[in-house]
């Protein structure tokens, strides 16, 4: 069994992952990190640097402000780490990239297999459709989500931008009286209730509209992807990995 340390074990996703790991045949949670100590069947520490349990991989589903201690711990102990947290700054993303030069690092803005399949589809069709279609992204999440746009929306938007030959720019919401520019990619955020996560990419042309939509029905989908990521990165050499690597392995 792969011994996992779960950072953010008392959060919404942490609890889902803890429940799912109980039936896993490959991954076992042996310790957790959180500000409170829930009764989840394994020891919980309020600081990762206090953890003395031997682990094979670290899974982080917490907040961006935990990054520095995670990097310090994983680097000192040479433990592969899976980052599932969103809302990182540009400087923090550079730290993650730098860490991958020394240990195996897995980073993805969304752990859903379905979202990452859509992301791969966008690589194939975005440049083909761009000249004749306006591109807009709508994302919806629960009212407790702190970052906007979502990390997934930015993942999809950047994939589209990277796939298009022309220069484009992101417009995060709209206000005022100006017309939409042809090289805009719009991103719109909705926050309300307990929406787990909806993402829709719209290609709006003259007389037709193409829509790619993913709806997370339960948080289980992210837990499944997270455990697959832990399985994947275990035993890997140093480097930066993502969900594309997991999907390609399954094909």
**Which residues are designated catalytic?**
141, 145
Sign for the CA dihedral angle at 49, 22, 60, 9 comes to negative
Secondary structure (3-state) at 171: strand
H or E stretch covering 29: strand 27-33
CB contact at 8 A, 35 and 69: no
Cβ neighbour number for residue 31 with a 10 Å cutoff: 21
Q: How far apart are CA 216 and CA 111, in angstroms?
A: 11
* Closest to 115 measured CA to CA, from 171, 153, 164: 153
Parallel, antiparallel or unpaired: strands 209-215 and 198-204: antiparallel
Cβ neighbour number for residue 70 with a 10 Å cutoff: 24
Q: How far apart are CA 105 and CA 58, in angstroms?
A: 10
């Amino acid at each position: 069994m792969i011994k996992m340390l779960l950072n953010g074990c008392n959060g919404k996703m942490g609890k889902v992952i803890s429940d799912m790991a109980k039936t896993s045949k490959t991954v076992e949670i042996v310790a957790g990190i959180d500000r409170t100590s829930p009764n989840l069947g394994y020891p919980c520490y309020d600081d990762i640097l206090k953890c003395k349990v031997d682990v094979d991989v670290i899974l982080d589903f917490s907040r961006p402000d935990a990054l520095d201690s995670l990097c310090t711990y994983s680097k000192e102990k040479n433990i592969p780490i899976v980052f599932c947290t969103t809302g990182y700054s540009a400087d923090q993303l550079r730290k993650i990239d730098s860490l991958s030069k020394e240990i195996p690092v897995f980073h993805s803005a969304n752990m859903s297999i379905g979202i990452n399949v859509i992301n791969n589809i966008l690589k194939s069709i975005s440049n083909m459709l761009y000249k004749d279609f306006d591109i807009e992204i709508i994302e919806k999440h629960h009212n407790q989500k702190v970052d906007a746009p979502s990390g997934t929306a930015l993942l999809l938007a950047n994939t589209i931008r990277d796939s298009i030959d022309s220069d484009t720019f992101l417009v995060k919401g709209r206000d005022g009286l100006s017309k939409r520019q042809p090289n805009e990619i719009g991103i719109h955020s909705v926050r309300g209730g307990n929406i787990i996560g909806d993402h829709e990419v719209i290609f709006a042309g003259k007389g037709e509209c193409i829509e790619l939509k993913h709806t997370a029905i339960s948080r289980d989908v992210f837990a499944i992807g997270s455990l697959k990521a832990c399985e994947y990165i275990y035993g890997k050499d140093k480097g930066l990995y993502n969900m594309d690597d997991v999907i390609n392995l399954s094909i």
